[in-house]
Structure 1
Amino acid sequence: MKQIQMTKNPPFSLISTKKIIQMNDVSTSYDSKNFALENINISIDRGTNYSIVGQSGSGKSTLLKLMNGMMIPSKGTIRIDYVSPDINNKKFKKMMHSIGYIPQSLGLVKNSTVLENILLGALPRLNKIQSLFNKFPEHEIKEAMKIISQVGLTGKENRKAYMLSGGEKRRVAIARALMQKPTILLADEIVSELDHVTSREIMDLIAEAQKRMNLTAIMVHHDIQLALEYANRVAVIKEGQKILEIGVEGDTIVDFQTGDMNNEEIMEMYADDSKK
């Protein structure tokens, strides 16, 4: 049998995976007794929009915390570009700046200006002295102003965060995350409590940024109709378990993981949400 010999110096500098996030049989618990999530399997393609939908307390936010290393699984494995997300993992620490995370609370500094809040996204690129005194180079300030324009906040860069409307605060939170120059954007209920029009403005903003920067966006929602409108795939979480994964192709809802649900139940779930 003829054997193929590898050259000592192959012409490859790295391996890229299409699946930027992979979760295999993941379970996790806050109290070591009851699982907040159980036997979760999720695979997310690079450059896509993936939504996680479910009721309050279903485990949606916990999924994002697992992806950004704030929690580690009790069982199973998670890989973000071949690296396990764990803040104690040196390899993951080096790539943490590439994951933009927007919590439900948004995490803005209320008494700081729009520009100051957005510049916080550049902190990982500063040296120790610059970081200590928040001295941002001119090119970082120019980049922040460019992003301010992209998110529709031109003219409000010197306004304090507490003076902004709900939609404007979300634009600042998105801009701060984009300032990190991320490859992954995690957003937890970013359009909750917003009206129909403002919700879609924010979702359009993220969709535009995703295409412009080739981002992988993972977003938590309550509204399955809104999720299907923007996401390539939608995972439905119920009581800590992934019960369904669907997407839209043309005028058809495509079922990627049926679980125990039939066609009528899936359509009813979508219809119920569209009535809200």
Structure 2
Amino acid sequence: MIRANKNWQIRIDINSMAKTPPFSLISTKKIIQMNDVWTSYDSQSYALEGVNLSIDRGTNYAIVGQSGSGKSTLLKLMNGMMTPSKGAIKIDYLTPNMNNKKFKKMMHTIGYIPQSLGLVKNVSVLDNILIGALPRLNRIQSILKQFPEHEIQEAKRILKLVGLSGKESRKAYMLSGGEKRRVAIARALMQKPTILLADEIVSELDHVTSREIMNLVLDAQKKMNLTAIMVHHDMKLALEFANRVAVIKEGQKILEIGVEGDTIVDFQTGDMSIEEIMEMYNTDSKE
């Protein structure tokens, strides 16, 4: 509350403002933040060591590295499947942890696509996509898989968005590799997420199909204002589609780069030389 005294000087009643704040929520540009994160699978060695990472809301962020470097572990930490041994993680001000009630309530806003894709092979495309709506159903509907008509129509809309119209009834095992990835993306989008985590979603695909899938994610990201965090093995593909690329080596984030115009920009000074960065870029682009 603002009051004026008889000398017309303005003073602010802080106690009154505390009771009726002029805002309903706090938002941050950084949707994901990691500070000095260490984590281990066996308590004897670390899969990640001292990782610092900050991701802007609504951007496309890529994580690149060799197999076993810790890329997938980063995604598991972001969705609460793992907790760090040391350090702190915040996802929109919340610590990702399955035991955290507030985090469990917002888990459906994190769409996660594992390397295996996690599709139910003997179930139709439409039913696989509808799995993403389960968090919005009541207990009875969830047990009986009774989806309201508006959820079915939404699934069909998303199915069209990912380019699978006419394949609603086809079983997942009958699909091509690219089509399976489209179903996995559609299922994640059905969750109405704010964050999309994808682990090697274009691995084992040819370059043409890889770019089709990446363009699909980019289109969905813009339409739904998503923050996409994707694990890649191809540096060139990552730089082509991501705003920033983190390079992970032996559990450590050694570099963070991006493309501005025709220039590769180093956002984090690392141990790699310009020659080494370009060698990584050119080698991956030939695979």
Offset at 1:269?
1.6
Once the two structures are superposed, what CA deviation does each residue of 1:144-188 show, in whole Å capped at 9, x if it has no partner? 000010000000000000000000000000000000000000000
Matched, 1:10 2:21: yes
Between the aligned partners of 2:72 and 2:286, the Cα distance in structure 1 is 25
Q: Where does structure 1 lack aligned partners over 5 or more consecutive residues?
A: none
Once the two structures are superposed, what CA deviation does each residue of 1:100-128 show, in whole Å capped at 9, x if it has no partner? 00000000000000000000000000001
Q: What pairs with 1:81-160 in structure 2 (closer than 5 Å)? A: 81-160=92-171
Match of 1:253 in 2: 264
C-alpha RMSD of matched pairs (Å): 1.1
Q: What pairs with 1:168-187 in structure 2 (closer than 5 Å)? A: 168-187=179-198
Match of 2:219 in 1: 208
Task: Give secondary structure in 1 for the equivalent of 2:24.
Answer: coil
Aligned length: 275
Match of 2:80 in 1: 69
Larger radius of gyration: 2
Between the aligned partners of 1:183 and 1:124, the Cα distance in structure 2 is 15
Between the aligned partners of 2:91 and 2:185, the Cα distance in structure 1 is 21
Once the two structures are superposed, what CA deviation does each residue of 1:205-254 show, in whole Å capped at 9, x if it has no partner? 00000000000000000001000000000000000000100000000000
Between the aligned partners of 1:27 and 1:64, the Cα distance in structure 2 is 14
Between the aligned partners of 2:63 and 2:152, the Cα distance in structure 1 is 34
Question: 235-244 vs 256-265, which deviates more?
Answer: 256-265
Offset at 1:5?
4.8
Residues 4 and 144 (structure 1), Cα distance of their counterparts in 2 relative to 1, 3 Å cut: same
Matched, 1:267 2:278: yes
Offset at 1:275?
2.3
Task: Give secondary structure in 2 for the equivalent of 1:168.
Answer: helix
Once the two structures are superposed, what CA deviation does each residue of 1:81-117 show, in whole Å capped at 9, x if it has no partner? 0000000100100000000000000000000000000
Q: TM-score, normalised on structure 1?
A: 0.98
- Matching residue within 186, 198, 205 for 1:194: 205
Offset at 1:271?
1.6
Q: Where does structure 2 lack aligned partners over 5 or more consecutive residues?
A: 1-9
Once the two structures are superposed, what CA deviation does each residue of 1:17-48 show, in whole Å capped at 9, x if it has no partner? 10000000000000001000000000000000
Amino acid paired to 1:152:
G
Task: Give secondary structure in 2 for the equivalent of 1:35.
Answer: coil
Amino acid paired to 2:53:
I
Q: TM-score, normalised on structure 2?
A: 0.94
Residues 239 and 134 (structure 1), Cα distance of their counterparts in 2 relative to 1, 3 Å cut: same
Between the aligned partners of 1:32 and 1:19, the Cα distance in structure 2 is 30
Residues 231 and 139 (structure 1), Cα distance of their counterparts in 2 relative to 1, 3 Å cut: same
Q: Percent identity?
A: 81
Amino acid paired to 2:169:
N
Match of 1:230 in 2: 241
Offset at 1:3?
8.5
Amino acid paired to 2:233:
H
Between the aligned partners of 1:151 and 1:85, the Cα distance in structure 2 is 29
Residues 268 and 3 (structure 1), Cα distance of their counterparts in 2 relative to 1, 3 Å cut: farther
Offset at 1:137?
0.1
Between the aligned partners of 1:4 and 1:241, the Cα distance in structure 2 is 49
Offset at 1:258?
2.0
Once the two structures are superposed, what CA deviation does each residue of 1:56-94 show, in whole Å capped at 9, x if it has no partner? 000000000000000000000000000000001001000
